[in-house]
């Protein structure tokens, strides 16, 4: 799991940079869109020829067009047909003019992608009314749909409710589904405010041109949302690929699922179609996720979901390797066991409630696991109580950390991870699976030292290599060498979070928060390159190229492997028309972190500019092998 990736759709002298943090429940996204616009366009294109307002607005409209959900180059034979019933809530019907046609079109667009990509088609059997009006909490709507229509005669029940009147980029606030469930709720895409904004902004364009833009954006969001929630019903947690439909946050550049994710989803679709007994289904979902490329899915979510799958696969409500022998003689816990076997976690949680007052450690552990699946904020106090029981295991603190991080409470999550590490060391019988769960959650908290210390204890050498590569890549990006100590060690999450928050402020051209972040970073880790990199980036965005070069040079003196400093110097050399020097910087970026797609793209453009066909061919072949896509 790498910290950053990029996309360059426009090439030339306009760079679009995407850099993300390790996401918890919602994820956070910051981009460099406008960085090169601010510097390169100001410095290089100041004397460009005049253009008309209409041509300017048409160019802007083209940049706002969403990506096309890409179809597979090799079509699969449709071997799986999933029967779907749509439920239309009262508020959706009052907001959408032709709900049956709209929903049918959404499912058809999904099939245009899923049939050739993975051989799966959703067959819409009927569209029926649903006596429901949604509030702000979609989880309540999901529970209402499960009660209203059990869906025993179909594979999926999808409910559509009214849209939000505000712009929302978190896909899981636009829709909701339980992992491995058979129901999902999706909001209507209400684009009226956006359409009005386009009307005000693009006064030189025809009505048809504005409507084409709005229609394309609405359809892209609808298709992405439906793919996203359907993948959750298959049992797939969020993945870390920003240009894919399983990323937690919505962007207009999402174009289907990542190829590695497609392979997992195709296997999970077989399970959804065959509908084996819950224990067998859980085992098959777990096996499919275990077979996925290490680092494909977001670590904290995968760890929590894997615990639940392990419990279901054992036909017992176990979690984290606990031995629940008392459950066999405890009628109340046996009822919980039966509810979980029946696939009813809501009832299981309700049955646990009377047992929590007595502090029963098994009940607390189970409640923690169940709450983690539904509401991380609720899970934090429950998991804290479980970790406070006598002889609490390292797993108990891992779960507390996962809950706190998902609830955006890192001040609780990071210390819990440090305690978890010490408890696991003390447990002579701590399994490699327990260490893997720990590492996955520590990754999501950006606890670099803890990840590096725990990685050798993993059973799979590929997992060890993957997480160590992640830690190295993260250190290089934020400018925090392993030789530099931080005040909050062994968890460097505060440094990493501050750095990335500063990058988000730079994207919005808010320079005062960046200056404050630089002060905090210097105090947190004296001698780190990260603060100097941020100063270089700020100077570049302000057009102060000489100062930017000095700051990036100082950053590389402190840490020669500071990836972002090399990348920024490459951009500066481009501005100054020093193409050979820019090439050297981009080559170094790719060597240090081959996930930085923008460096590949800009290096390819530089090779074209210098007519270096041999180097371009070699780069294109490597890019195809690395990303499974042609270099553009």
Q: For the chain (length 632 residues), average pLDDT per consecutive 10?
A: 33 30 31 42 38 61 63 59 93 87 93 91 92 81 85 90 67 83 88 61 70 81 92 92 84 84 93 83 90 87 84 53 33 70 74 81 84 82 90 89 89 94 85 85 92 89 87 95 91 94 90 94 95 96 94 96 96 95 96 91 94 95 87 83
Per-residue tokens: 484: 């530099």
> What is the rounded CA–CA span in Å between residue 461 and residue 55?
55
pTM: 0.56
Per-residue tokens: 262: 């497609």
pLDDT of residue 46: 37
pLDDT of residue 398: 92
Other Cβ atoms less than 10 A from the Cβ of 388: the count is 13
Domain 80-268 fold is Collagenase (Catalytic Domain) (3.40.390)
Return the residue matching tokens 């709900």.
Answer: 99
Q: Which CATH superfamily is domain 561-632 in?
A: Tetratricopeptide repeat domain (1.25.40.10)
pLDDT of residue 204: 67
Question: Please, where in the chain does CATH 1.25.40.10 lie?
Answer: 561-632
Cβ(279)–Cβ(299) under 8 Å?
no
> What is the rounded CA–CA span in Å between residue 119 and residue 115?
4
**What is the CATH number that goes with domain 293-438?**
1.25.40
- For 37-99, what is the HEC assignment? HHHHHHHHCCCCCCCCHHHHHHHHHHHHCCCCCCCCCCCCCCCEEEEEEEEEEHHHHHHCCCH
Question: Please, where in the chain does CATH 3.40.390.10 lie?
Answer: 80-268
């Amino acid at each position: 799991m790498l910290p950053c990736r990029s996309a360059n759709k426009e090439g030339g002298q306009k760079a679009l940079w995407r850099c993300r943090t390790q996401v918890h429940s919602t994820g956070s996204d910051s981009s460099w869109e406008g960085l090169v616009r601010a510097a390169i366009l100001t410095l290089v294109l100041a004397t460009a020829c005049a253009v008309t307002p209409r041509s300017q607005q048409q160019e802007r409209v083209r940049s706002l067009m969403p990506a096309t959900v890409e179809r597979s180059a090799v079509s699969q034979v449709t071997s799986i047909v999933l029967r779907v019933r749509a439920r239309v809530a009262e508020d959706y019907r009052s907001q959408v003019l032709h709900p049956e046609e709209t929903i049918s079109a959404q499912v058809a667009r999904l099939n245009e992608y899923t049939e050739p990509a993975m051989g799966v088609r959703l067959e819409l059997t009927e569209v029926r009314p649903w006596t429901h009006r949604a509030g702000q909490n979609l989880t309540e709507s999901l529970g209402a749909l499960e009660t209203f229509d059990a869906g025993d005669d179909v594979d999926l029940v999808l409910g559509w409710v009214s849209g939000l009147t505000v712009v929302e980029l978190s896909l899981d606030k636009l829709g909701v589904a339980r992992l491995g469930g058979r129901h999902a709720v999706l909001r209507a895409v209400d684009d009226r405010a956006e359409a009005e904004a386009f009307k005000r902004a693009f006064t030189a364009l025809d009505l048809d041109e504005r409507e084409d833009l709005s229609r394309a954006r609405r359809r892209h969001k609808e298709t992405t949302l439906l793919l996203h929630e359907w993948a959750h019903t298959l049992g797939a947690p969020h993945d870390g690929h920003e240009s894919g439909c399983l990323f937690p946050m919505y962007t207009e550049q999402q174009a289907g699922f990542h190829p590695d994710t497609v392979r997992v989803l195709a296997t999970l679709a077989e399970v959804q179609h065959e509908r084996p007994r819950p224990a067998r289904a859980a085992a098959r979902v777990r096996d499919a996720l275990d077979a996925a490329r290490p680092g494909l899915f977001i670590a904290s979510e995968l760890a929590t979901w894997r615990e639940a799958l392990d419990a279901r696969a054992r036909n017992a409500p176990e979690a984290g390797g606990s031995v629940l022998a008392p459950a066999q003689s405890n009628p109340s816990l046996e009822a919980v066991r039966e509810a979980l076997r029946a696939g009813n976690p809501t009832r299981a949680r309700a049955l646990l409630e009377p047992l929590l007052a007595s502090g029963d450690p098994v009940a607390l552990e189970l409640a923690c696991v169940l709450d983690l699946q539904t509401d991380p904020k609720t899970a934090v106090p429950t998991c804290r109580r479980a970790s406070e029981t006598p002889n609490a295991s390292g797993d108990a603190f891992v779960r507390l950390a996962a809950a706190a991080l998902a609830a955006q409470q890192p001040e609780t999550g990071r210390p819990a991870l440090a305690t978890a590490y010490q408890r696991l060391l003390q447990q002579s019988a701590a399994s490699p699976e327990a260490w893997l769960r720990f590492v996955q959650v520590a990754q999501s908290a950006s606890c670099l030292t803890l990840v590096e210390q725990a990685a050798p204890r993993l059973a799979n050498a590929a997992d060890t290599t993957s997480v160590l590569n992640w830690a190295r890549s993260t250190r290089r990006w934020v400018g925090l060498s392993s030789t530099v100590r931080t005040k909050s060690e062994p968890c460097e999450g505060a440094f990493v979070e501050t750095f990335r928050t500063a990058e988000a402020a730079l994207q919005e051209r808010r320079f005062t928060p960046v200056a404050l972040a630089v002060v905090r970073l210097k105090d947190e880790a004296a001698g780190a390159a990260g603060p100097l990199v941020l100063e270089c980036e700020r100077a570049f965005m302000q057009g102060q190229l000489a100062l930017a070069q000095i700051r990036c040079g100082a950053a590389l003196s402190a840490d020669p492997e500071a990836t972002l400093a090399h990348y920024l110097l490459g951009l500066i050399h481009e501005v100054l028309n020093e193409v050979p020097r820019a090439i050297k910087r981009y080559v170094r970026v790719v060597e240090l972190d081959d996930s930085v797609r923008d460096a590949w793209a800009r290096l390819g453009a530089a090779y074209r500019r210098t007519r270096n066909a041999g180097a371009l061919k070699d780069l294109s072949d490597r890019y195809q092998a690395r990303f499974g896509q042609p270099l553009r």
